[in-house]
Chains A and B, each alone.
Chain A
Amino acid sequence: MPVKDKNGVKVWQVRDRNAQLIRWAMWMAAGIIFYVSWMKISDQTTWFFVFDAPRIAADIGGRAMPPKWSYITQLGKPIWDTLNIATLGTVFALMMAVPIAFLAARNTTPSKLFIRPIALLIIVSTRSINSLIWALLLVSIIGPGIFAGMVAISIRSIGFCAKLLYEAIEEIDENQVEAITATGATRWQIMVYGIVPQILPAFAGIAVFRWDINIRESTVLGLVGAGGIGLQLQASLNTLAWPQVSLILTVILVAVVIGEFVSAKVRGAII
């Protein structure tokens, strides 16, 4: 037990001297890294604007404050588009994620040496890139519109869904699979009767969870021209129509809260 000798009285300490020194050095290094990083940000900041920020914020808030409620009649179609982008994107993502998850899971992959790394690479690369970047890319390839947004959402979701799903597949109870195998079932029958029933709850949970996230993400895809309510937001921001902006933000907030509520209810019902 580490103790400190203080005027002949032994006092208990959490750590001995060396451990303490190492910790101090690590905290010191972290502090220096933070300070250097902060100075870089500080150098690129016009501090005058920052000190002026409360006034600007109050100004924008004042302009935005009574939201332009009459504008809501024009938001029906965009919010419907946003919902479609999120839902269809999730469905298509799941269609692609399921085979990839089976190829990536250690216990179901046909080849650990060749196919599994490829599946993992697909998972990592689709997951690392934000849906907004995918949308940017797809808008420049297939043109602006809802379709680009939907494809962007579904590509972004593949990695997320496939990763969670293949972890669920790896955690299944092998005894059930073995029991089905013992009846003389074929590969596909093992899959359908041995593995799928075990991962179905996880699958449903992942689907709803991702749908909730996709609703949030699809609200901003319009900023790069990929359809949905973000288009209206971008247009209102560009024309400095702050009352419209505040209304759109309110609508987005309500949509997100409803989405979270629905997903929580469905997940509660499944699990």
Chain B
Amino acid sequence: MSVTLESRVGTPWKKQPFIKNSTLRWGLLIIAVVYFTVALGSMDVNWSRVYLGLERGRRFVVAFLNPDFTSRATDIKEGMIESVIMAVTSTVVGIALSIPIALGAARNISPLPIYLVCRFIISISRALNEIIVAILFVAIFGFGPLAGFLTLSFATIGFLAKLLAEEIEDMNKVQAEAVKATGASWLQWINFGVQPQIMPRLIGLSIYRLDINFRESAVLGLVGAGGIGATLNTAFDRYEFDTVAAILLMIIVVVMALEYLSGIIRARVQ
């Protein structure tokens, strides 16, 4: 501290600015203000249309208070079952595909060429939005849950393999080395040296991904890839807000249940 105590006594304390360099601070502030005025200006809102929509908004809120589960019960039931099936199968297949890719994408256990290939697969899967992949898969494989299942499996790779590879890279080397020293084969080495260390994380991530896959399967129906989304879209198009509310509430309940379940399982595993 170059400032002595004497010189500071009597002067009031001032809060330190978040960004120390004052030109940078003011520059960023001015850029932000200019950007927001331009961006908000480019957003032409048709307020009379919004005002008209308020009535529909009110109807929607009312519908949320008394959702209609019965009049489209069979459609909702089938859509929900299809969504759950898609979520479960795609998570299983996604995990099965992710594990080898994660092993390949961990720099400490795989050679460089394999590492690069696996990282490339992961980044492709992460960069493409689920909906866009679903559109392409629907165009290629036709309408139905198969396209949704493939989309979600593909999306699971980017998520699970990336996080799992990071976990493998962070693992304790000593344990793996000890197993190797016993003369274990490569498979035994992975099975007894690496796998026990990443298992808790793998289980936690898998349950979390199941949750995400279910949520995503709810929108894939919008582009024809099966699941509850198709029912939801139809209900929206017919302005049956009470059915919409029922479907949305069911999605929320299932997601909450999955989150609760994953909390219990993760607490038990770790």
- The residues of A with any CB-CB pair to B shorter than 8 Å are 30, 33-34, 37-38, 40-42, 44-46, 49-50, 53, 56-57, 60, 80-81, 84, 87-88, 91, 124-125, 127-130, 132-133, 136-137, 140-143, 145-147, 150, 193, 200, 216-217, 219-220, 223-224, 233, 237, 249, 252-253, 256-257, 260
Q: Is B186 among interface residues, defined by CB-CB distance under 8 A?
A: no
A256 vs B88: C-alpha distance in the bound complex, in angstroms? 28
Our pick among B43, B135, B255 for the contact of A237 (Cβ within 8 Å) is B135
Cross-chain contact of A88 among B40, B129, B131 (Cβ < 8 A): B40
User: How far in angstroms is the closest Cβ of chain B from A6?
Assistant: 19
Complex contact A137–B256 (CB within 8 A): no
Are the C-beta atoms of A216 and B216 separated by less than 8 Å? no
The interface residues of chain B lying within 8 Å CB-to-CB of A125 are 252
Residues of B whose CB lies within 8 Å of any CB of A are 15, 18, 35-36, 39-40, 42-46, 49-50, 52-54, 56-57, 60, 81-82, 85-86, 88-89, 92, 127-129, 131-132, 135, 139-142, 144-146, 149, 215-216, 218-219, 222-223, 226, 229, 232-233, 236, 239, 244, 248, 251-252, 255-256, 259
Chain B residue numbers with a CB within 8 Å of A253 are 127-128
Evaluate contact between A37 and B226: CB separation under 8 angstroms.
Answer: no
**A147 and B219: CB pair below 8 A?**
no
**Which residues on the A side are within 8 Å of B149 (C-beta)?**
41
Contacting pair A219 B129 (CB below 8 A): yes
Question: Which residues on B sit within 8 Å (CB–CB) of A142?
Answer: 49-50, 53, 57
From B39, B45, B92, A34 is in contact (CB under 8 Å) with B92
B88 to A128, Cβ gap below 8 A? no
Contact A217 to B60, CB < 8 A, known contacts A37-B88, A130-B218, A133-B218: no
Complexed CA–CA distance, A219 and B133 (Å): 13
A-B pairs with the 10 shortest C-beta distances? Answer: A49-B142, A128-B255, A143-B49, A37-B85, A142-B53, A45-B146, A220-B131, A84-B39, A141-B53, A130-B219
Which residues of B have CB within 8 Å of A216?
129
Contact between A217 and B129, CB atoms less than 8 A apart: yes
A residues within 8 A CB of B251? 128-129
Contact (A145, B46) CB under 8 Å given A44-B144, A128-B251 = yes
Query: Given A88-B43, A128-B256, A237-B135: A223 and B223 within 8 A (CB)?
Result: yes
CB contact between B222 and one of A132, A193, A252, A260 (< 8 Å): that residue: A132
Q: Which residue of B lies closest to A40 (CB)?
A: B85
A57 pairs with B140, CB closer than 8 A = yes
A-B contacts, 11 of them at CB < 8 A, read: A44-B82, A44-B146, A46-B142, A124-B255, A124-B259, A128-B255, A137-B236, A140-B239, A141-B54, A141-B57, A143-B52
Cβ–Cβ contact B145 & A147, under 8 A? no
**Contact: A34 with B88, CB < 8 Å?**
yes
The listed residue with most B CB atoms (<10 A of its CB), out of A56, A143, A253, is: A143
- Provide the bound-state CA to CA distance between A214 and B233, in Å: 22
Q: Which residue of B lies closest to A240 (CB)?
A: B139
Which residue of A41, A80, A127, A133 contacts B232 across the interface (Cβ within 8 Å)? A133
Chain A residues whose CB sits within 8 angstroms of the CB of B56 once the complex forms: 140-141
